[in-house]
Every structure is written in structure tokens, then in C-alpha cells.
Structure 1
Amino acid sequence: MRFWPRSLLGQMLLAVALVLLLAQAISAALLWQAAEARREAAVLNAAAFAFIVRGEPRNEGDGRWRGQGPRRHLIDRFTRPLRIERTDSFAPRPGDDIDPERAEALRAVVEDQGTAVAELIVVERPIARDPYILDRPRLHRRLASGNGERRQVLVAALKRSGGDGWMVARVPIPPRQRGVIGSILLQTLVIYVLLVGLHFLLLRRITRPLAALTERTETFARTQNADGQLAPDGPHDVRRLIAAHNAMEARIAALLDEKDVMLGAIGHDLKTPLAALRVRIESVEDESERAKMAATIEDITRSLDDILSLARVGRASEPPERADLAALTAAVVEEFEDMGEPVALGPTTRIALPVHITWLRRALRNLIANAVRYAGEAEVALLRDGGRAVLRVDDRGPGIPEGRIAEMTEPFTRGEASRNRETGGAGLGLTLARAIAEQHGGDLVLVNRAGGGLRAEIRLPLQSETDSARKGAS
């Protein structure tokens, strides 16, 4: 399953969602950290308040507590310290969590208020295991109400410099604020709905005309017909793009029309005098000379037909027809067999595809004719290879030098240097086969066989079958 979407709209929305999720995660972590810092500061300030305000005598004469003490607005009802316990000795109990960091922080607060500290011990223990609280049932019931049995109490024991005993302050540690996460989740949901929804509307306005332009480009590439151009839509930049594409389409269509007119004129202007020559050579008395002249005219005519066909590939006036490729392959092989050529039909698979039947026949004939010309025989097969239909022609001829395989599909390139039709022709057969394969969204593959000979394959995509299967599954 693909996690990353393929469309621009999906990728942009997913990117916005991921960035927003990351930002909200960082925000949640910072808010949680701030809430924990406030909670910790409230506990330590409550303990300091107990030592400084409740554990110190008043100043003589002014009626005020010595020093200002910690800020009382940080001490809420959850961290209100219990009464100071005075004892001659103090030692942590088994299972207590001794916390030297809190002890250092609390020492700094107390000493900042003018109290000299000889020794300070801070531990954390469950409320249910504190003897001072257990000895006071009413206090225990109050602190242990609800989920209080799991609550902790901070026990801080302070011995002043020059003092004989210990002051023990107890501060209930408030539970962690659960509302922070809930508020963050609610905030994230609201932001997602607003931000992602707004981005969806904006991106949809951009991607809808782009999708239409893509479809229009694919249609034009298939038909070369400028009818049905898109009206400019969307943002200004997209409108300009559509307008430029329409102008380019119109220009390309005009050039192609001019080319077709020119090719028609060339075909007419050249074939007419060739036909006249063909009639005139009948008056030549020497039969050998007459045959040579006729062969030359036929050679020129076939070369002209190949050139005109190559120029017209991709300008089919009719849409592709769904055809049984196995039947098409068998029919072409039968044509060669009827002419007495050593062409054999190998394994075939039933595959139906929308194709330009006349053009595909022409491409297959060219590959078979090349194999027969250079190897004296050919074997034709139709296979399914993954997502492609493969029209394969094998021979046992000399093959093609590895360095010239790509070159052989270029126009007027032949394996044999002469221009004799019997030994090589004009060098347009493979070029035309490649152009027809590309017209169908496929390609022509040439490869030398391990046992000798050449393998030529027209590989056509089975995309239409894949789309039909997906529609059926949905």
C-alpha cells in the first residue's frame, strides 16, 4: 500500500497535515513541560512557605514575618502545606525516593529568604505510607479521597544552623493536569478542520484545472485534434498556462495538417510520374532491361510508401479498436505461410487490447520480413510479461552487433550497407515498427539471442486491462 499519494492535491494536503501534526506535537510537549514546571514550582514554594512563614517567628516590633517568603500565588489548594512537624531526628524511611535535586532547589529558596540551613533532606513517598498522615484519620481521609491513595507527598526535613531539632514540612503533590492534553487535542482538531479544509479548497481550485489540462494533453497526444480546447480557469498563473497550451495545441495541429497536405501532394506528385514510367517501360524490347527498370520503380514506390507511412504514424483518423492479439498474430503468420515463407507460429496467449489494427499488422509484418530476409526463417509468439503484451519474433540469423542495436531503429539505417531491396531495403522497417509501438504507448526491443540470432519484441502496456480490473474490484 502506498503511503505517499500520487496527486498534487494529496501530497500537499498530506504535507500540511504532517507539518501541522509536528507543530502540535511540539506545542503539546512545551505546554506539558510548562505545566510540569509550574506544578514543581508550586510544590517547592509551598514547602518553602511552610518553613519560612509557618516555621519562623515573627519579627520583633513590626508584626511581620521575616522576609517576604515565596510568592503565595503559586501555592494553590492542591499544594497547601500541612502543619510543620518538629522532631529531634529525621531519617528517610525504607522505600522513600530521596530527591537531591529538589533538596538543592528548596535550599536555594529558603536561604534566599535569610534562613541558614545546616541540613536539608527531601523525599517523596505515597500518602498511604506516611506515618504523620496515617496517625490523623481525618487528614488521611481528606487527602486520600477519590484517587488519593495513589497520590504522593513531598516530605522536606530542614535543620537550621545552630538549631537542635528538625522541621518537617509535608506538601501533597498535585496530580498531573489531564486537561492539558484534552485541550491540545481539541485545539488540534479545530486547526485541522480549519487549516486543512481551507488548504483543500485552495488546492482544489488549482489542481482541478491542472487535472483537466493533463487529460486534455493526453487526448491531444493521442488524437492530434485541436477541437475541444479548455477554457482558462483557476488562478491567474494556471489560466496563463492553459491559454499558452491552447495556443501551442493550435499551432501543432496546424503544422500537422500542413504536413498531411504536403505529404498528400508529394505522394500524388511522385506516384503519378512513377506510374507513367511503369507504363512506358512496357515498350522496352529488352526483357532484362525492362525487368530491372520495373524493379527500380517498384523499389522507389515501396520506399515512398514507407516514408509516407512513417510520417503518418500517430495521425490515425479512427480510434483504436479492441482486437484479439492472438488472432491478429496468427493471421499475419498465415499471410507469410501462404507466400511460402518459413514462418512458424509459436506459443500465444489470448490478450485483447484496443489497438490500431492496420498499423500493428504493419509493424509485425516488418519484423517478420526482416527476420526472413536476414535469417531465412522466423518464429512468432505472443506472450504476457507482467503488465505488458509481448509480440515476439525470433530468428537464427547473424544478429546485430551490440554497439549498433540502438542505431538500427533510426531511419535509413540497415545492417547491410547496400541499398539493394533484396539485401536490406531502405532501412525504414524497424523505424516504422518502433514508431507504431510508441503510438500504442509501448516500445520496440531488440536483443541478440544467447544461442545466436535476433529477438525483436513489440511490448504493449496492458493498462486498459488493469483499469478494467480495478473498476470491477471497486
Structure 2
Amino acid sequence: MIRKPLDSLRVQLLLLIVGSLVTAQAISLWLFVDERSLAVRAAIGAEAAGRAANVALLLEQAPEDLHASILRAADSPLARFHVDPLPTVDHLDHEAGGAVEARIRSLLGTGDKRVIRVELHRVEGALTPMTNMPSQMTGMHQRMMHDKIMGLELTLSIALESGAWLNVDTRFQRPPLQWPVFSSISFGLTAALLIGVACWYLLARLTWPLRRLAQAAESLGRGEESKPIPASGPSEVRDLTETFNLMQERLVRTVADKTRIMAALGHDLRSPLTALRVRAEMVDDEESRDAMITSIEEMQDMVERTLAFARGMAISEPPETVELGEFLTQLRRDMLDEFQLETDAPLKIRLRPQSMRRALRNIIENAVRYGGGAEVSFAQEYDRVLIEVRDHGPGIPDAQLEEVFEPFFRIETSRSRETGGTGLGLSIARTILRSHGGDITLQNHPDGGLVVQLDLPFTQSFNQQERTRS
């Protein structure tokens, strides 16, 4: 199986941790901005209320000929004060008026009952300076005023003792959001510390035993001898490792017991068959003697092939790393039946050589015997190695493509060993391939003949193990 980077448990957990940290930081920043907005609004209201209350007190205490000077002195690029017969604010603002009004009354005096009206608006886009302002006062604010940042416009109408109204138009531009540098550095250091030290160590402690367990399971599936895995990591992983060790021990013991039983059975059958052969030789009637000897030889042949089938199930031969092209070339030299071999790029694979020779020999011999010849090729597809053996014979009916793998099943209906064999060749081959972690499939070629495909694993652990040994 080819693993993508994001499929790794370690990567997914790291992404989860980093995502959680970023989310927590974003929520904290959002709360900070919201609190900052409330603080800015409170400061704006308090500052405007203070200036308005002071101006109102000055107007009521100063002579009327000084009123114009007081108003001009109070004006600024973002605030304008003027006295009018009617109030500018014709309604009360229920959102922020209460706090501003309370601030003004606290500055005017506790017993003051005059009417105070407050109106607050949000202003989108560039704020323009108040009109009728000297150019030298607005110049220093011009660049700031053209920045398209949300601002606030506060309008106050305060009743004076003379019956007139002090109208105040105040505009405040919220200061731009400043990224908290210290918080960013603190977040980066915290994330690096968690990921680089704590999380990486803890995740390695969790994922390494799992990876080692997966490699051991893969080796067990290929029939390789595997020692018990030391239990390490969290308690759940240790329990899983101990369970796997117990399962592996039981599987190996079960296969070994069955192999010993079949070997013992074959050994015990040889003695009575040999005795029957001796007795058959003593029969005087030649026709009866030949028939008995033929039957006994057939029984001996079946016993030997059954033992060969059992040896194919046994996990005794140690695996080796071989170059597949050279392996098939040597097999062609050793076989009596010639076959065509198409070699591809050098390809190293780990297998049990003697068992694999037996499987390939059975398949190639069938192709030569029933298909008139064999064409062998191999290729790598992702994490698999495919070996194809094709012949140009009549093929096999689709309904029997799977049935031919059953022990002692023969398509050829005669009972002759010369023409039909024993029906164990494909069964032995499939048993050997499956002990390697692979399989065999059959399919009829569209142009005629049968294609036997041997599927073997080609995983990174093979190469890693080979590099470790070298």
C-alpha cells in the first residue's frame, strides 16, 4: 500500500494540534478585538462628554461676547461646537446615550436637570474633516482622515440656561488594529515547543510501535519467521502488541502441527504401500500383477504430491532478496521445457526461492503441456510485482477459472496421469503465493489462450530490511 503524507497518523495528529492552537489563538484575538472596540467606544464617549460639558459651563459663565472665541478654541479637525436655537439631535440614542449623558451630568453637577441628547453613528469609509476649519489645523490630520477605516460620529445637543442649544459634532477614527507582536512571538514559540519537542516525542512513542507492528504483520502474512515484538508505548498499544504476539504464536504452532501430521501420515503410508508393492510382484498372473503395481504407483504418486502440497503450506524456508530477471532466467535454464522470457528493468524482490521455483514450474509446465508453450513477463505496478504466464491453448471455461485451484480437480476428464496430472499443481502454486502475501488469478486472453497472473507484494519494508542487513 502506498501511503500519502496526510495518511500518516503522526501528520494528522500534528495538523489537529496546530489547527487547535491556531483556532484558540484566533478566538483569543477576536475576543481581544471586541473588548478593544468596547474600550475605544467608552473612551470616545468619555472624551466627547468631558469636552462638551466644559464648553457648556464656559458658555454659561463667560460673557456673551466671548462665546464665539470659546467655540473657536474648542473646535478641532474632528470636533465642531456651535450654539443654535434648536437642537441638532431630535431623538435619543438608546445604545450609547445613557453612558455619555451620565458622564456629562456628573461634570455639570449633581442637581443639573437640563435636557441632554446624544446620537451615535458608525461611519464607513474615509472621514472628512469638519468644515470651516483653518487649513493649518487640518493639514496634520489630512493623511489620517483619508484612510478608509471605520469611524464613529457622536452628536450632542445640550440645553443652555439661555434657552439656546450647544450642538457638538464629534468624529473619531478608530485606531488601526495593531497585531500583538509579543503574542505572535509567544504563540510561535509555544507551537514550536509543543510540536518540536513534546508532540513529536509523544507521537513517535505512539506511532513507532504501530509501524513496527504493521511490519511484523506484513512479514507474518508473507510467511517470514518473526520474533515476538517487545511491547512499548501507551497501554492500548502494548495490549495490541501482546495480542498480536499471541496470535502469531498460535498461527505458527497450528501450521507446524498440521504439517507434522501430514508428514507423519505420508511417512506411515509409505510402509504399507511398499509392502503392497512387494506382494504385488509375487502375483503370478501378469495382467493382475501389472494392474496392482499401476494402482500402487498411483497411490504413491498421490502421497508424494500431497506431501509436496503440505510442504508448500509450511513456513520453513528462509526468504531471500533476489533479482527477479536473473531468478527467472536461471529457472529457464533449469527446466526441460523451454519458455519465452521478457525481462524488464532490474527488479529486486524478497521471496523464498525454492518454494517460488516450485510454484512457477507447476504453472509453466501446465502452459507448455496444455497451451503449446509459455510466455513469461514481469513488471512492477505501484507496490505490487506482477508475473504473467501466457499460453496459446484453448483456455479454461470462465465457470472453472476458480474451481481449478481446488486440490485434485482436473479439467481433463481421463484418469491418466500422463495427460491429466494429479490436479495439485495450481493448488500448490496458490498456497505458495499466498504464503508470500500474494495470490494467483486466471483469465482468458481476448486473442486466445490463458493468462496466469502471479501477484506478489513489493513494499518499502522489503528494501528497508535489505538495506539494514547490508
TM-score bracket for this pair, using the shorter chain length: 0.7 to 0.9
Shift of 1:458: 1.3
The residue type paired with residue 30 of structure 1 is L
Separation (CA, whole Å) in 1 of partners of 2:341 and 2:330: 13
How far off is 1:397 after superposition?
A: 3.2
Please state whether the residue corresponding to 1:378 is helix, strand or coil: coil
1:346–1:9 Cα change, 3 Å? closer
C-alpha offsets along residues 101-147 of structure 1, whole Å, 9 cap, x if unaligned? x988556766787745498887678688555665454x865x689x7
Matched, 1:354 2:353: no
Match of 1:378 in 2: 373
Alpha-carbon distance change, 417 to 104 in structure 1, aligned in 2, over 3 angstroms: farther
Amino acid of the structure 1 residue aligned with 2:170? R
Q: CA deviation at 1:346?
A: 4.6
Quote how far apart the aligned CAs of 1:266 are.
1.7
Residue 345 in 1 paired to residue 346 in 2?
no
Distance (Å, rounded) in 2 between the aligned partners of 1:398 and 1:10 = 53
Matches within 5 A, 1:87-166: 105=95, 115=115, 117=117, 129-130=129-130, 134-135=134-135, 137=137, 156-158=154-156
| Number of residue equivalences | 429
- Aligned alpha-carbon RMSD (Å): 4.5
> Structure 1 CA distance, aligned partners of 2:462 and 2:301?
39
Distance 1:310 1:351 in 2: 29
In structure 2, the CA distance between the partners of 1:455 and 1:49, relative to structure 1 (3 Å rule), is: same
Report the TM-score, using the length of structure 2 for normalisation. Answer: 0.72
Q: AA paired with 2:411?
A: G
Q: Which residue number in structure 2 is paired with residue 167 of structure 1?
A: 167
**Distance across 2 between alignment mates of 1:419 and 1:360:** 28
Higher mean C-alpha displacement, 217-226 vs 362-371: 217-226
Q: Quote the residue 2:17 is aligned against.
A: 16
| Aligned equivalent of 1:441 | 437
User: Paired residue for 2:411?
Assistant: 415
Please give the alpha-carbon distance, in whole angstroms, between the structure 2 residues aligned to 1:256 and 1:42: 83
Instruction: Summarize the Cα distance change of 1:279–1:18 in structure 2 as closer, same or farther, 3 Å threshold.
Output: farther
Corresponding residue of 1:269:
268
Q: Secondary structure at the match of 2:447?
A: coil
Once the 2 structures are TM-superposed, how far is the Cα of residue 159 of structure 1 from its aligned partner? Answer: 5.2
Q: Which moved more, 1:114-123 or 1:377-386?
A: 114-123
SS at 2:374 equivalent: strand
Change (3 A) 1:431 1:55: farther
**Distance change in 2, residues 1:444/1:253 (3 Å):** closer
Q: In the superposition, relative to structure 1, how do residues 89 and 177 fare at CA in structure 2: closer, same or farther (>3 Å)?
A: farther
- Could you tell me which residue of structure 2 aligns to residue 250 of structure 1? 249
Match in the other structure for 1:63: none
SS of equivalent residue, structure 1 residue 175: coil
The secondary structure found in structure 1 opposite 2:407 is coil
1:395·1:455 contact (CA, 8 Å) conserved in 2?
yes
Q: Distance in 1 between matches of 2:124 and 2:392?
A: 90
CA change 1:195–1:319 in 2 (3 A) is same
| SS state at 1:185 partner | helix
Alignment of 1:231-380 (within 5 A): 231-284=230-283, 290-313=289-312, 315-333=314-332, 338=336, 344-349=339-344, 350-375=346-371, 377-380=372-375
Contact kept in structure 1, 2:78 and 2:129, CA below 8 Å: no
Q: Matched residues in 2 for 1:123 and 1:40: separation?
A: 13
Question: Whole-Å Cα distance in 2 between the matches of residues 258 and 364 of structure 1?
Answer: 27
Conserved in 2, the CA contact under 8 Å of 1:281 and 1:294? yes
TM-score (norm 1): 0.72
Bigger relative contact order, structure 1 or 2 (CA pairs below 8 A, ≥6 apart): 2
Unaligned regions of 5+ residues in structure 1, if any? 61-79, 91-101
For residue 445 of structure 1, give the secondary structure of its aligned residue in structure 2. strand
**8 Å Cα contact 1:122/1:154 also seen in 2:** yes
Contact 1:393 1:457 in 2 (8 A): yes
Matches within 5 A, 1:191-202: 191-193=190-192, 195-196=194-195, 197-202=197-202
Which residue is 1:43 aligned to? 44
Query: In structure 2, what residue type is equivalent to 1:437?
Result: L
**Residues 443 and 459 of structure 1 are in contact (CA less than 8 Å); yes or no, is this contact kept in structure 2?**
yes
Give the equivalent residue in structure 2 for 1:93. Answer: none
Counterpart Cα distance in 2 of 1:411 and 1:132? 107
Q: Distance in 2 between matches of 1:462 and 1:236?
A: 32
Shift of the alpha carbon at 1:435?
1.9
Please tell me whether the aligned partners of residues 412 and 419 of structure 2 are also in contact (alpha carbons under 8 angstroms). yes
Secondary structure of the residue that 2:232 maps to in structure 1? coil
Counterparts of 1:39 and 1:167, CA distance in 2: 23
Asked if structure 1 preserves the Cα contact closer than 8 Å seen for 2:127 and 2:173, the reply is no
Structure 2: distance between partners of 1:431 and 1:299: 19
Query: Could you tell me how far 1:422 is from its partner in structure 2?
Result: 4.1
Q: Distance in 2 between matches of 1:438 and 1:463?
A: 16
Work out whether residues 399 and 454 of structure 1, in 8 Å CA contact, stay in contact via their aligned partners in 2.
yes
CA contact (8 A) 2:392 2:448 kept: yes
How far apart, CA to CA, are the structure 1 residues paired with 2:122 and 2:6? Answer: 55
Matched, 1:458 2:454: yes
* Counterpart residue number, 1:96: none
Q: What amino acid is the match of 1:207?
A: T
Tell me the alpha carbon deviations over residues 435-471 of structure 1, each in whole angstroms, 9 at most, x when there is no partner.
2222333221211111232211213334369847x98
Structure-2 change in CA distance of 1:271 and 1:254 (3 Å): same
The 1:413–1:322 alpha-carbon spacing in structure 2 relative to 1, beyond 3 Å, is same
Which string of whole-angstrom CA distances, capped at 9 and with x for unpartnered residues, describes residues 174-226 of structure 1?
4234154x344234335424554434444433334334444444445555646
Q: Deviations over 1:326-347 (max 9, x none)?
A: 34434544566x4xx6x54153
| Other structure's SS at 2:34 match | helix
State the one-letter code of the partner of 2:31. L
Cα offset, 1:54, TM superposition: 3.3
